Chain A
Amino acid sequence: MIHFHRFQLDNGLKVLVHEDHTVPMAVLNILYDVGAKDENPNQTGFAHLFEHLMFGGSINIPSYDEPLQRVGGENNAFTNNDITNYYIQLPSVNIETAFWLESDRMLSLAFSEKSLETQRSVVIEEFKQRYLNQPYGDVWLKLRPLAYTTHSYQWATIGKEVSHIENAKMDDVKAFFYKHYTPSNAIMVVAGDVNLDQVKALSEKWFGNIPSGNKYQRDIPQEPIQTEKRSLTTSANVPNDSIYKAFHIHNRSSKEYYIADIISDILSRGESSRLYQELVKTKKIFSEVNAYITGDIDPGLFILEGKPSKGISLEEADEALWSVVNEIKANKIEQRELQKIFNKLESSTVFGEMNLLNKAMNMAYFELLGDADMINTEMERYRSVSPEDISNYASEVFTPTNCSTLFYKSNKS
């Protein structure tokens, strides 16, 4: 159970406070409601590049990192298709430094040309390191546009191609900032060894006079229902073939989301899961195999992926994956297996809540979904899923016409 308080400043900034005095540390987490899905199709990778620029100095403070390290703090950030999330962890005695730094960059960046130039190079190196110079690193660059014809989930957070990052201009940076980095588009969580009154006072002091800006109205074209089987075959200099299957599922706020998540656990959570036991251990068709959901806010994807064992073709591997999901469609799951999933979810919640940063990030995320208190009722939503729900939803999702398959072939085979 996570207890918290919530208040809102006049400029629209939402603030959540969670007191936890077990260690003398504090976290200040700010989630901006902007992700790669909000990008222009001709300027992809921009939300993430922008995240890098947020560390290039703000209007009144030339260096972001230096003053924070000087008081014993650390920070980082991540961008995904839905959100951009920034966090600071620091000894709680110096919490005000976090307010000072975060409020100034919400007020305005320094927009330094040098920073833009450097971070373009850094992000291009990141593009190479994680997507281009890695075996199978480009899978998501190929799978997304296959699965999505319309929705902006069709490109990865890093961007469609390196040239989009090379071409980023300062004017675009400024426009993006004023459009998305406003108090009303942000959720701040302050957690740890702090108290409510202190956070209220510091929030007013540092964030209170930031102009509210205009609330960004999102209007993303939604993905039409897929009606035909899709597949793409690609090849690369990798030692092994690999297969990726993407199925459309419901959005984050639906009941079906929880059913899909449970199905992915049945298939792939822990060594006792079905895919591992049946396809790796018993039939030895795969050397590794995995199932998961992408966890997106808008309708996301259910992914099956694996590397077939030597001598097994991608077609045989594909068939084996179908046989396991067809089993879920055809036969109701036993009570013990479902109980196992619930127990695992329960313990991962307890262990997860032993980490302050993790709590703070989750609170911000659930607040974005509608209410941070959903963290405390999340388990109930999982528990409400029945064996019938599982086979019914599996039958709806796991159909050839709802599926996009990427056959990733090794040039050597």
Chain B
Amino acid sequence: MTFSLNVENESPNRTVFHLHGRLDAQTFNDFDLAMLDVLPRIPEESTVVLDLSALDYISSAGLRSIAKIRRTMRSRNGHTLLLNPQPQVRKVFDIVKAVPVNEVFADARELDEYLDRMQRRMTGDEPGSSP
């Protein structure tokens, strides 16, 4: 068991994926399949949080899987945020400049603050669109 995935729906517009183990050429396929299953069920304009705190290792195959998720979410006007990557994983992300720096968060509190801030801005800017 080198890789596992937990999906947690914190709220209707925020889904958290907990990644465990190694996301590499051997495991990215499983991850991709799981995503194919999960992502379509996520509503538009919602936020996907990838909790990487338990991800030990990632290779280019894993990077491509994550890029795929981000592209899917973007096409659905959603966001993909990364939470707490381990140093090794963070190093890989840095090397290939995988995601914008402001979408990676060191811990859950930072993430919450960011999401709140974004929420307020959205409600302030577009009050009519608020649910």
Question: Is this pair of chains taken from one and the same complex?
Answer: no
Question: Which residues from chain B sit less than 8 Å from chain A, CB to CB?
Answer: none
